[in-house]
Amino acid sequence: MGKIKKRHRFRNFILVVCTLIICLGLATGTSLYNYMLKLSNQGSSQADKIKPKAVSKDEPVNILAMGVDIGVVGAEDKDNLKRTDTILLINYNPKLEEANVISIPRDTLIEVNKKYKKINEANVIGGPAFLIDAVENMLNIKVNYYGKVDYAGFRNIVDIIGPIEVKINNKMDYDDPTQNLHIHFKKGETVQLDGKKAEEFFRWRKNNDGTGLADGDLGRIENQHLFLNKVIDKFKNPSIITKIPSILASIPNYVETNMSAQDMVKNGYSLVKLDKTKINMYTLKGDAEYISGVSYLIYDEKKNKDVLMKLHNETAKK
């Protein structure tokens, strides 16, 4: 019976973008704690500056996960500021025993010094703290922790867990030599994605000829959710157990977070034990609008009532 319970934990494990959730989910025992301790100790000047916000017992916890691009081409500085290609708010409610993962479109409008900016620029303007502040103000919440990963870490994890099989629903033909990014998939084909190809699939939203996803970044998020569901299937397979040491060994090289090892273990265990049906995924809604020739998504609070009720714990109140 004990073996069945342990296997069940791993089969219910979920990956949400990014390597941060893998980091949280796998930190469930004393031997794994040492890996997490190494991660929390190495840090960066950014993580050192951002203090976590305390969480009371049974209070929901919010973790902001950031997937960043390459930043300045050729820069080797660890604190090289980069745009956030992917922004996920992970909300765990211990009373309801459920998790809510909210994708925040990178074109979402924010205001900086009375000037309009896209939310994916926040990390470049003022680092993770600036992005945290933008999310807190927009959703009227407090972000307790943050985690940041780059595409090198994403590629590494995918290579470890094995190829991800997906069917290509759109013609993908895009090249960006400055980032050494070349995306070429044929519509209708089924492909096995290694880390490099997975990054290409994850990032695509338009082609060289200007065609692509009608909904832009919102369509790209749908593709990301499709990919993540495939990754979930990988983690439901008991064979993932043999790959855990390699995954954990790679994490400290790619993850920046202000979460202590102890909190990683606590929050990771909470996510691991959840049933898959208790993990909900959302995308913030709004209206697409051009302002001074720039395309933005204008966040609409009324269109996000369901998400806000989850974040504000209103469904738990009678």
210-237: average pLDDT:
81
CATH assignment at residue 51: 3.40.630.190
pLDDT at 14: 39
Tell me the per-residue pLDDT of 76-132, one tens digit each, with 9 for 90 and over: 555 555 788 889 999 999 999 998 989 999 999 999 888 999 999 999 998 899 999
The SS3 call for residue 71 is coil
φ/ψ (deg, to 5) at 296: -130, 160
What percent of the chain has pLDDT above 70?
79
Count of alpha carbons within 13 angstroms of residue 120, beta-carbon side: 20
First to last CA, the chain: 37
What single string gives the DSSP state of each residue in 94-158? TTTTEEEEEE--TTBEEEETTEEEEGGGHHHHHHHHHHHHHHHHHHT----EEEEEEHHHHHHHH
Cα 83 to Cα 243: distance, rounded to the nearest angstrom: 30
pLDDT at 196: 95
pLDDT at 275: 77
Residue range(s) defining the domain that contains residue 181: 2-316
Tell me the per-residue pLDDT of 20-78, one tens digit each, with 9 for 90 and over: 555 545 444 445 556 656 655 555 556 667 899 988 888 999 999 998 875 544 545 55
Domain count, the chain: 1
Task: Evaluate whether 105 touches 218 at the Cβ level (below 8 Å).
Answer: yes
Q: Is 215 exposed, middle or buried (0-12, 13-18, 19+ CB in 10 A)?
A: middle
pLDDT over 50 (residue 282): yes
Cα 146 to Cα 258: distance, rounded to the nearest angstrom: 6
Query: pLDDT band at residue 313, thresholds of 50, 70 and 90?
Result: confident
206-226: average pLDDT:
86
Tell me if the pTM is above 0.85: no
Total residue count of the chain as it appears in this document: 318
pLDDT over 60 (residue 201): yes
**How far from the centroid of its chain's Cα atoms is residue 253's Cα?**
17
**CA dihedral angle for residue 162, residue 156, residue 217, residue 297, rounded to 10 degrees:** 140
pLDDT at 254: 82
Query: pLDDT band at residue 317, thresholds of 50, 70 and 90?
Result: very low
pLDDT over 90 (residue 166): yes
Query: pLDDT band at residue 12, thresholds of 50, 70 and 90?
Result: very low
Tell me the per-residue pLDDT of 131-148, one tens digit each, with 9 for 90 and over: 999 999 999 999 999 988
Residues 6+ apart with CB under 8 A from 250: 153, 156, 157, 160
Higher pLDDT, 237 or 230: 230
Question: Range with the lowest mean pLDDT among 119-128, 197-206, 257-266?
Answer: 257-266
Q: Strand pairing partners for 250?
A: none
Tell me the per-residue pLDDT of 291-310, one tens digit each, with 9 for 90 and over: 999 999 999 999 999 999 99
pLDDT at 15: 39
